[in-house]
């Protein structure tokens, strides 16, 4: 995998900032980790279900050099001010003044005991829209873990790195997410989707056949309240699971239940608990249909699963918003669009549309005009190229 012209320019900017901030002649290495879109399987990972992410060819770059002391100096090409801390100042959970630095710091905390020398100088830069449902946070975590692993010869496999990054996000950053984003970023394979079984963290690759293109639709609405609302969904699912265990049968995760269990527990399962459980149980069926369709390149069948997933995510899981509903509806109204859904946590950010191969130029203008008229914002568009996992660039 080589960098595009714009990615090479980004790497140049990162290197320039590195040398002007930290001096010397060059960093010890420049690394990359990708973001992802999730084709289908919304909010199933932390419920022990199956998900189907695809790694994108966009992500986060990191120029890094170990230090001989315990100082951690973070810079971003998008921000003038840096974030500096010493290992001893990190604490056990994120500190508000560290901002986005919580992601690298969480990873560093998890790896610190294995590192021979301690601190590092680092400059980050990315071409992934931030906080948009394409896993920019996981890409920051994975590129940090991958770089530390390679520079210090820790010999950790990518699966182990993904688990370490997931631990950093849940324990240090404090978002009770599932394993999907870190696994997708660390284990993505070009031209394939990752069919990840979150009940036991096993996975298989499913080749993406021609038959459709994936168009990413960026509403540009940032998800400001995401982590609070996200953790609330996790808690509600935990409560629904407890009700089902008591009144249906005892299974390990919410995704393991079926429609008959929900019917059995009907007198006790109501309100948000019923809605969340109904989404999880029905989404598992849609993932199964989606994987079968993906295997044979059946765009219309996969698209129908996507659209039905969006409806369930909006109505029963309540993580959509006006912008995501409008952009997916506008896309689905175009000829040659098989289906569309929000991707990522929801509450804003990106959606995806499954479209006839080569039809993006035709689909984009009416969707853009409709969205701009309603919200006064021009959305972003990009045809997905399924890139590979993390790598060393320089
Ligand atoms: C976020 C989380 C993931 C997953 C998705 C929803 O991206 O980080 O773990 O739960 O939302 O599918």
Whether the CB of 386 sits within 6 Å of ligand 1: no
Q: For residue 356, what pLDDT is reported?
A: 97
CA dihedral sign of residues 338, 344, 346, 350: negative
- Give residue 95's pLDDT band: very low, low, confident or very high (50, 70, 90): very high
Å from CA of 23 to ligand 1 middle: 38
- Average pLDDT over the chain reads 96
**CA distance between the termini of the chain:** 13
Q: Percentage of residues in the chain with pLDDT exceeding 90?
A: 91
Residue 386 has pLDDT above 90, yes or no: no
Reading the block at residue 217, the tokens are 């639709």
pLDDT digits (tens, 9 = 90+) for 117-133: 679 999 999 999 888 89
Could you tell me if the CB of 42 is within 6 A of ligand 1?
yes
Left, alpha or beta for 348 (phi > 0: left; psi -120 to 50: alpha)? left
Residue nearest to atom 10 of ligand 1 (CA): 43
pLDDT at res. 224: 63
User: Which residue in the list 45, 57, 149, 181 is annotated as catalytic?
Assistant: 181
Band (pLDDT 50/70/90 cuts) for residue 39 is: very high
Q: Is 81 a catalytic residue?
A: no
Question: What are the pLDDT digits (tens) for 232-277?
Answer: 999 999 999 999 999 999 999 999 999 999 999 999 999 999 999 9
pLDDT tens by residue, 206-238: 999 888 999 999 999 987 655 789 999 999 999
Q: Cα(105)–Cα(109) distance, rounded to whole angstroms?
A: 6
Q: Rounded to the nearest 5°, which phi and psi values hold at 120?
A: -160, 155
- Write out pLDDT tens, residues 147-188: 999 999 999 999 999 999 999 999 999 999 999 999 999 999
Evaluate if pTM is beyond 0.75: yes
């Amino acid at each position: 995998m080589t960098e595009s012209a714009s990615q090479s320019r980004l790497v140049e900017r990162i290197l320039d900032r590195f040398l002007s901030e930290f001096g010397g002649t060059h960093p010890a290495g420049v690394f990359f980790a990708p973001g992802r879109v999730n084709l289908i399987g919304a909010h199933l990972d932390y419920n022990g279900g199956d998900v189907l992410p695809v790694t994108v060819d966009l992500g986060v770059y990191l120029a890094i050099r170990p230090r001989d002391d315990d100082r951690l100096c973070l810079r971003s090409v998008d921000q003038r001010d840096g974030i500096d801390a010493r290992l001893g100042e990190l604490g056990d959970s994120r500190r508000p003044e560290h901002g986005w630095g919580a992601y690298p710091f969480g990873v560093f905390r998890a790896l610190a005991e294995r590192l021979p020398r301690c601190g590092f100088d680092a400059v980050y830069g990315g071409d992934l829209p931030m906080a948009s449902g394409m896993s920019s946070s996981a890409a920051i975590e994975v590129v940090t873990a991958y770089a530390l692993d390679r520079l210090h010869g820790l010999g950790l496999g990518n699966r182990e790195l993904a688990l370490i990054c997931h631990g950093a996000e849940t324990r240090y950053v404090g978002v009770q997410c599932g394993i999907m984003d870190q696994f997708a970023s660390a284990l993505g394979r070009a031209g394939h989707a990752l069919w990840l079984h979150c009940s036991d963290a096993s996975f298989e690759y499913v080749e993406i056949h021609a038959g459709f293109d994936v168009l990413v639709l960026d509403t540009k609405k940032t998800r400001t309240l995401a982590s609070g609302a996200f953790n609330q969904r996790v808690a509600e699912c935990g409560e629904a699971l407890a009700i089902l265990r008591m009144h249906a049968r005892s299974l390990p995760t919410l995704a393991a239940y079926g429609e008959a269990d929900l019917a059995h527990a009907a007198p006790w399962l109501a309100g948000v608990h019923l809605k969340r459980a109904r989404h999880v149980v029905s989404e598992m069926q849609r993932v199964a249909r989606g994987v079968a369709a993906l295997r044979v390149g059946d765009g219309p069948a996969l698209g129908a699963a996507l659209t039905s997933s969006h409806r369930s995510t909006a109505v029963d899981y309540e993580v959509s918003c006006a912008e995501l509903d409008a952009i997916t509806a506008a896309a689905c109204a175009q000829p040659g669009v098989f289906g569309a859904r929000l991707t990522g946590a929801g509450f804003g950010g990106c959606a995806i549309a499954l479209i006839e191969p080569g039809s993006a130029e035709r689909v984009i203008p009416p969707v853009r005009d409709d969205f701009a008229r309603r919200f006064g914002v021009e959305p972003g568009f990009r045809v997905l190229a399924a890139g590979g996992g993390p790598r060393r660039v320089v």
